[in-house]
Amino acid sequence: MSQTPDRPFPHRHLLSLEGYSTDDVTQILDTAEAFFEVSRRAVRKVPTLRGKTVLHLFYEDSTRTRTSFELAAKRLSADTLNLSVKTSSVKKGESLNDTCRTLGAMHPDIVVIRHNASGAPHYVAQKMDARVVNAGDGMHAHPTQALLDAFTIRRNKGTLEGLKVAILGDIAHSRVARSNCRLLRLFGCDVNVVGPRTLVPRHFGEAFDVTVHDRLEPALEGADVVMALRIQQERLAEALLPSLREYNRVFGLSAERMKLAKDDAIVMHPGPMNRGVEIEPEVADGPQSVILDQVEAGVATRMAVLYVLLGQGEAPAA
C-alpha cells in the first residue's frame, strides 16, 4: 500500500479531478483500502459520520452510482436523503438555483449531484455551503468512477504507474473516459483511446495528452488494462453509428481480440453493459474481467471520498 503524507485533505469539493495531485488521489485510494476491509466485516458499518447528512440529488437516471453512493453514506452512519428528478418539484419547473436555496436550508453536509448539464455541480458548490461531490455531469466528468477504476487497477496490478491502458468506445459522450484519462495521465499511464471517428472528438488526443487510434489493434497490443465503454442506442438516432452490429464487428471486445493485450491484462466496464455490442459475454464474464470488482470498489471509494471531504473540517480539538 502506498504511503501518503499525514495532512488534512486540501480540497473542499470533488467536482472533477482538475487540480487534484497524485498525493490527493493516493490519499483517497489508501483510505478506500481501509473501507474495503469494512465491507467484509460481520457488521458492515462504522459510526464515523454519525449525525452528518448526505443529500443525493439526481437529475439523471442512475442505478448503480446512486445505490453505490447511498450504501457508502449508510455504511458511514450518515443520514441520507434522496431526491430524484422524477418525484421532485424540479419536475414542476423549479430552477436549480431555487432548489439549492431550498435544500440549503436543510443544511446538508455533503451534496452528491448528478446532472445532465456539464458544470451543474460547480454551480451548486457556489450556491450552497455543503461539500459537493460530482456523481456525473453531462459529458464533463465522473470523478468517483475514475477513482474506483484506479482503485480496482491498483488492487489488481499493484500500481498505476507505467501501465498501458486502452479505452474503447464512445469517447465523445463519455464523462467516464474524460475523468479516467485525466487520472491515469496524472500517474503517467500510457493511455490509448479508440473508437469510430464520429465518437472521438477531433482534439481529444492533445486535450488529454493521450494517444488516439482509429483501429482497435494498436490500442490493445500489450495493454495491461482494457476498458470498454457503453455504446448508447441514442447514438444511432443521431446517425453517429451505422448499426450496433457494425460497431460490434469493428470495435467489439472479443476473446480473440483480447489476445493482443498482455496475458494478465484486466477487462473493465463502467456499466451498464450492452453484451454483444461493445463487449462479448465471454469477455465480460471471463477470467480477466474485474467488472464486479469495480462495483465493490465503488462503495469503498465513495466512502473514502465522503470521509476525506468531511475530514478537513474545523480545526481539530486537542
Partner 1 sequence: MRELMDAEAAMRTLKRVASEVVEATGGAKDLAIVGIRRGGVDVADVLAGHVGAEIDGPVPTGAIDIALYRDDAATALPDPKIGPSSIPFEVDGRDVLIVDDVLQTGRTIRAAIECLLDYGRPRRIWLAVLLDRGGRELPIAADFVGKTVDVPKGARIDVRLAEAADAKGAFVEESA
Contact positions vs partner 1 (CB under 8 A):
4, 6, 8-9, 27, 30-31, 33-34, 36-38, 41-43, 45-52, 307-308, 310-317
Query: HSE (CB half, 13 Å, CA atoms) of 67?
Result: 5
CA distance 76 to 287: 32
Min CB(53)–partner 1 separation in Å: 11
Q: Phi and psi for 110 in degrees, rounded to 5?
A: -135, 140
Question: Would you say 48 or 288 has its CB closer to partner 1?
Answer: 48
Closest CA relative to residue 219, chosen from 169, 174, 279: 169
**Sole residue written with cell 464523462:** 175
Closest distance to partner 1 from the beta carbon of 79 (Å): 12
Report the greatest alpha carbon distance in the chain.
65
Q: Which is nearer to partner 1, 6 or 18 (CB)?
A: 6
Q: Which is nearer to partner 1, 83 or 130 (CB)?
A: 130
Q: For residue 48, what are the CA distances in angstroms to 74, 176, 261, 318?
A: 10, 29, 42, 18
Q: Closest distance between partner 1 and the C-beta of residue 37, in Å? A: 4
Closer Cβ to partner 1, 31 or 294, answer by number: 31
DSSP assigned state of 169: S
- Smaller CB distance to partner 1: residue 42 or 237? 42
Q: Least CB distance from residue 47 to partner 1, whole Å?
A: 6
CB of 16 to partner 1, least distance (A): 20
Number of H helices, E strands in the chain: 13, 9
